[in-house]
Amino acid sequence: MQETKRILTGSALPGLAKGNNKAWKRVLQNWELYLFIAPAFFYFLIFHYGPMYGIQIAFKNFIPTKGIFGSPWAGFDHFIRFFNSYYFWDLLWNTLSISLYELAIGFPLPIILALAFNEVKNGFFKRTVQTVTYAPHFISVVVMAGMIITFLSPSTGIITHFLEWLGFNAPQFLTDPSWFKTMYVFSGVWQGAGWGTIIYLAALSGVDPQQHEAAIIDGASRFQRVRHINIPTIVPTMTILLILNMGSLLGVGFEKILLLQNPLNMEASDVISTFVYRSGLVDAQYSFSTAVGLFNSVVNAILLIVVNQIVRRTNENSLW
Amino acid sequence: MVSAVKETGRDKVFVICNYIFVFLAFIVVAYPVLYMISASISDPKLVGSGEMWLLPKGITFEGYERVFQNSSIWTGYGNTILYTAVGTLINLFVTLPAAYALSRKDFAGRNFFMGMFMVTMFFGGGLVPTYLLVKELNMVNTMWAIIIPSAASIWNIIVSRTFFQSSIPKELQEAAQIDGCTNMRLFIKIILPLSMPIIAVMGLFYGVGNWNSYFSALIYLNDADKYPLQLVLRQILVLQEMSAQGGGAMDASSAAALNNKAEIAALVKYAVIIVATVPVIAIYPFLQRYFVQGVMIGSVKG
C-alpha cells in the first residue's frame, strides 16, 4: 500500500533511514511468521546442514573419542584409496548401469501409459485401471522385495512355474548376477509406472479441446492427434522430470537393492550407496565411507547442473 | 467429444489396440496382487507346486492364524502405529506453518529460507555424518531417531506452499490484518480450516511414508521390541528367518516335519504381506483423489 502511494506521489528518493525503518516494521509486524518457520529452519539447520559439517571427516581420520573437529587431517587419502581400489570401477559401473537401465525403461513407460489412458473414453474402465495401476506405489519396499523373492523362487515361485509351463528353463533370477539389474528395473516399473502417469495426465488435461476439434476437421487421425497435439503438450513436464532423474543417476534406490542383495549376486548388485552403508555403518570405517558418499553427492550435483545447462541451451524448460 | 465426425477405420484400429494395451497393463499390475491374496488362503502345497495360480485352492486360514499368534508381528504393528502417528503429527507441525510463512509475499526473508531448504534437495551430508549426528544427540535406539531426522520433506513444503499461494485468497489475510487479527490467530482460525485438502494430502503422504519406511529403523534401532512392522517383515520375507534351515542328518519323520514347517513359513509370508499392506491399500481408493491432487499441486512449478 505504502509502496504504491510512494510511486503515485512521485517521491523518487525515499530516505535511507526511512527505508530501513519500513523493512524493520515489516519484520516486526510479521514476527509470528518467524515462529512459524522456526521448526523447519532448525530442522534443516540441524539435520541437513549439521551432517554437512560432518563431511570434513572425509578428509580426516575420524576417531570417535576426539570428535569430528579434533580428529587428525588425512587430506585426500580416503579418496585416493577409493579410486585405486579394485572395486571402484565395478561400483561405478553398477551404479550407472542400473540407473541408466532404469531411466531407459522407467522414464518412457509412464508417458506411453498416460497417453494410452488419456485415449480411453470409457469412464468406469478408465477409473478402475487408474486405481489399480496406482496402488502398487503404496506397497513398501520390504514387501516389494519379499514379493520379488517369493515370485522368483527357483522351486516354488509362480514366475518360475510360468516359464516352465511355457517350456523355458527358468534362470536363477535371485542369485544369477546377470539377472539382477533386470529384476530390479522391472519390479520398479511394475510398482511405479502407474503412479508416474498422474503428472502427465494432469498436463494432458490442459490440452485445449479446440485444438483437437480443429485437427479432426482437418482430417487428422487419432494417432496423428496424439502425436502432434498431446505429445508436444507434455514435453515441458518430460523435460523437468528428465533433469530431475539425471540428477539422481548415482542415487539409485538403494533401499531395495540392499534388500535384494546376496553374496551370489554381489558383483552386479553392489552400488556406491550400498557400499557406503556396508563400509560405514557395518564395518565402521566412518571416514572412508564418508569420502565415498561425498564423491557420490558431488557427482550427482555436477550431473544435475550440467544436464540443466544443456537443457537450458536447447529449450526454455529448465529447472532454474 | 466431436461425435458428429465419424471415426475412420484406422481410428477404430487405434482405439482397439489402445484398449488392448491398457487392459494388458491392468492385468500385469493386478495379477500379482490377486495372486498374493489367493496364495495367503490356499493350501501351501498347491501354491508351491504352481497348481494354484489365480483363485484360492484348498482354502486354509492357517497362515493368518500363525500371523495373529506371532507376538513379534504384533509388537511391530503396535510400534509402527505409534511411530506413524507421532511422526506424522510432527511432520505436519513442521511442514504446514513453514509452508504458510513461505507462501506470504510480505514475509521478509522468504527467499533466504526457501533457498536454504532447496539446497538440501541437491546436496546433503550423507549417511555416515547423519548417523554420527543422531548418535551425538543420543537418539540412537529410541523412536526419535526414526522420527526427528525425517521431520519434514522439502518437496512436501513446496507442495503445501503452492497450495496456500493458489487456494487462499490474499484479501482474506489483508481483511484479517485490518481487523487487527494476529498472524497466529489468522493461521489457526482462518487458514487451517480452509486448508483441509492439503492437510489431508500431507497427512497421507507423510503417513504412508512413515508406515512403509524401514531403513532408519534398521540403522538406528537395536532392540527387537522397538522394531517397526517393516523391520519384522524384513526378517520374515527377506532374511527368511522363519523358514526352516536344513542342517545335519535327520530321519524321515523330522524331514517331513521340516518340510511341513517350510510350507507353513511360505504360507505365513503371503499372509503377513497382506496384513501389512492392507491398511494402506484399503484406505487408498477412498483417498485417491487427495493423493492425485497432491501430485498435481506439486507439478505446478512454484
Per-domain residue ranges of chain A: 15-70, 86-314
**Does residue B167 or residue B149 have the better pLDDT?**
B149
Q: pLDDT band for position A249 (50/70/90)? A: confident
* Whether the predicted pLDDT of A5 surpasses 70: no
Give percent helix, percent strand, percent coil of chain A, each to the nearest 5.
Answer: 75, 0, 25
Residue B254, pLDDT score: 59
Residue A1, pLDDT score: 40
Kindly report, residue by residue over A12-36, the tens digit of the pLDDT.
Answer: 444 445 557 777 877 788 889 999 9
Taking the C-alpha atoms of residue B129 and residue A53, their distance in angstroms, rounded to an integer, is: 8
In the numeric block, which cell numbers belong to residue A319? 529447472
Question: Cβ of A44 under 8 Å from any chain B Cβ?
Answer: yes
Residue B297, pLDDT score: 74
Place of cell 527357483: A154
* Whether the predicted pLDDT of B255 surpasses 70: no
Question: Cβ of B107 under 8 Å from any chain A Cβ?
Answer: yes
Question: Cβ of B17 under 8 Å from any chain A Cβ?
Answer: no
Which of A116, A145, A164 lies at the smallest CB-CB distance from B238?
A145
Least confident of A154-163, A236-245, B134-143, B180-189: A236-245
Taking the C-alpha atoms of residue B118 and residue A102, their distance in angstroms, rounded to an integer, is: 26
Q: What percent of chain A has pLDDT over 90?
A: 59
* Whether the predicted pLDDT of A11 surpasses 60: no
For residues A57 and B131, the answer to whether their CB atoms sit within 8 Å is no
User: CATH 1.10.3720.10 occupies which residues in chain B?
Assistant: 64-302
Taking the C-alpha atoms of residue B192 and residue B164, their distance in angstroms, rounded to an integer, is: 10
In the numeric block, which cell numbers belong to residue A66? 576426539
Give the three-class secondary structure for B175: helix
In the numeric block, which cell numbers belong to residue B75? 509388537
Q: At residue A41, what are phi and psi to the nearest 5 degrees?
A: -60, -50
* Whether the predicted pLDDT of A278 surpasses 90: yes
The distance of A50 to chain B (nearest Cα, Å) reads 7
Kindly report, residue by residue over B207-242, the tens digit of the pLDDT.
Answer: 999 999 999 999 999 999 999 999 999 998 888 765
Residue A2, pLDDT score: 43
Residue A319, pLDDT score: 67
Residue A124, pLDDT score: 92
In the numeric block, which cell numbers belong to residue B207? 503417513
Identity at A74, one-letter amino acid code:
A
Cβ-defined contact of B98 to A40 (cutoff 8 Å): yes
Residue B99, pLDDT score: 96
Q: What percent of chain B has pLDDT over 70?
A: 90
- CATH T-level topology, domain A86-314: MetI-like fold (1.10.3720)
Give the three-class secondary structure for B61: coil
In the numeric block, which cell numbers belong to residue A32? 509470528
When scoring B128, B187, B220 by the number of chain A Cβ atoms within 10 A, the one with the most, hence best to mutate, is B128
Residue B8, pLDDT score: 75
Residue A320, pLDDT score: 65
Cβ-defined contact of B124 to A52 (cutoff 8 Å): yes
Predicted ipTM?
A: 0.88
Residue B247, pLDDT score: 38
Kindly report, residue by residue over B52-92, the tens digit of the pLDDT.
Answer: 888 898 888 988 998 888 889 999 999 999 999 999 999 99
Which of B7, B98, B211 lies at the smallest CB-CB distance from A36?
B98
Cα separation of the two ends of chain A: 31
Residue B4, pLDDT score: 45
Taking the C-alpha atoms of residue A193 and residue A127, their distance in angstroms, rounded to an integer, is: 16
The torsion defined by the Cα of A94, A99, A104 and A107, in degrees rounded to 10, comes to 160
Sequence-ordered list of residues with C-beta below 8 angstroms from that of B280, at least 6 positions apart, any chain? A138, A139, B208, B211, B212
B62-69 and B71-103 helices, crossing angle to 10°: 80
Residues of B in contact with A131 (CB under 8 A): 285, 288
* Whether the predicted pLDDT of B141 surpasses 50: yes
Q: Choose among B299, B235, B292: nearest CA to B268.
A: B235
The distance of A12 to chain B (nearest Cα, Å) reads 22
Question: Cβ of A71 under 8 Å from any chain B Cβ?
Answer: no
Average pLDDT over chain B, rounded to an integer: 86
Identify the closest residue of chain B to A43 by CA–CA distance: B151
Question: Cβ of A24 under 8 Å from any chain B Cβ?
Answer: no
Place of cell 497382506: B274
Residue B258, pLDDT score: 61
Q: What is the mean pLDDT of residues A154-183?
A: 91
The distance of A231 to chain B (nearest Cα, Å) reads 16
Q: pLDDT band for position A317 (50/70/90)? A: low
* Whether the predicted pLDDT of B132 surpasses 90: yes
Sequence-ordered list of residues with C-beta below 8 angstroms from that of B173, at least 6 positions apart, any chain? B104, B186
Cβ-defined contact of A40 to B129 (cutoff 8 Å): no
Dump the DSSP string for A242-294.
Answer: HHHHHHTTT---HHHHHHH--TTTHHHH--HHHHHHIIIIIS--HHHHHHHHH
Residue B217, pLDDT score: 95
Residue A178, pLDDT score: 92
Residue A19, pLDDT score: 59
Cβ-defined contact of B237 to A39 (cutoff 8 Å): no
Sequence-ordered list of residues with C-beta below 8 angstroms from that of B167, at least 6 positions apart, any chain? B194, B195, B197, B198
What burial class does residue A2 get, using C-beta atoms within 10 Å of its C-beta: 0-12 exposed, 13-18 middle, 19+ buried?
exposed
Question: Cβ of A136 under 8 Å from any chain B Cβ?
Answer: yes
Q: Choose among A192, A178, A187: nearest CA to A159.
A: A187
Measure CA B216 to chain center: 14
For residues B275 and B73, the answer to whether their CB atoms sit within 8 Å is yes
The torsion defined by the Cα of A227, A233, A234 and A237, in degrees rounded to 10, comes to 160
Question: Cβ of B94 under 8 Å from any chain A Cβ?
Answer: yes
Q: What is the mean pLDDT of residues B274-296?
A: 81
Cβ-defined contact of A222 to B11 (cutoff 8 Å): yes
Residue B294, pLDDT score: 76
The CATH class, in words, for B64-302 is mainly alpha
Taking the C-alpha atoms of residue A316 and residue A303, their distance in angstroms, rounded to an integer, is: 19
Average pLDDT over chain A, rounded to an integer: 87
Q: pLDDT band for position B288 (50/70/90)? A: confident
Residue A246, pLDDT score: 79
Taking the C-alpha atoms of residue A154 and residue A174, their distance in angstroms, rounded to an integer, is: 8
Sequence-ordered list of residues with C-beta below 8 angstroms from that of A281, at least 6 positions apart, any chain? A289, B127, B128, B131, B219
Q: pLDDT band for position B298 (50/70/90)? A: low
pTM: 0.87
Which of B154, B157, B215 lies at the smallest CB-CB distance from A255?
B215
| Number of residues that make up chain B | 302
Residue B7, pLDDT score: 65
Taking the C-alpha atoms of residue A90 and residue A86, their distance in angstroms, rounded to an integer, is: 8
Residues of B in contact with A286 (CB under 8 A): 128, 132
When scoring A22, A31, A33 by the number of chain B Cβ atoms within 10 A, the one with the most, hence best to mutate, is A33
Kindly report, residue by residue over A171-214, the tens digit of the pLDDT.
Answer: 999 999 999 999 999 999 999 999 999 889 988 988 888 999 99
Q: What is the mean pLDDT of residues B151-174?
A: 89
Q: What percent of chain B has pLDDT over 90?
A: 50
Identify the closest residue of chain A to B301 by CA–CA distance: A319
CA atoms within 13 Å, Cβ hemisphere of A2: 9
For residues B233 and B28, the answer to whether their CB atoms sit within 8 Å is no
* Whether the predicted pLDDT of B114 surpasses 70: yes
Question: Cβ of A237 under 8 Å from any chain B Cβ?
Answer: yes
Residues of A in contact with B108 (CB under 8 A): 23, 26-27, 30
Which of B8, B101, B295 lies at the smallest CB-CB distance from A37?
B101
Identify the closest residue of chain B to A137 by CA–CA distance: B281
| Number of CB pairs, chain A paired with chain B, less than 8 A apart | 283
Q: Choose among A300, A275, A283, A265: nearest CA to A87.
A: A275
Residues of A in contact with B127 (CB under 8 A): 273, 276-277, 280-281, 289, 293
Residues 117-176 of B with CB under 8 A from A: 117, 120, 122-133, 148-149, 151-152, 154, 157
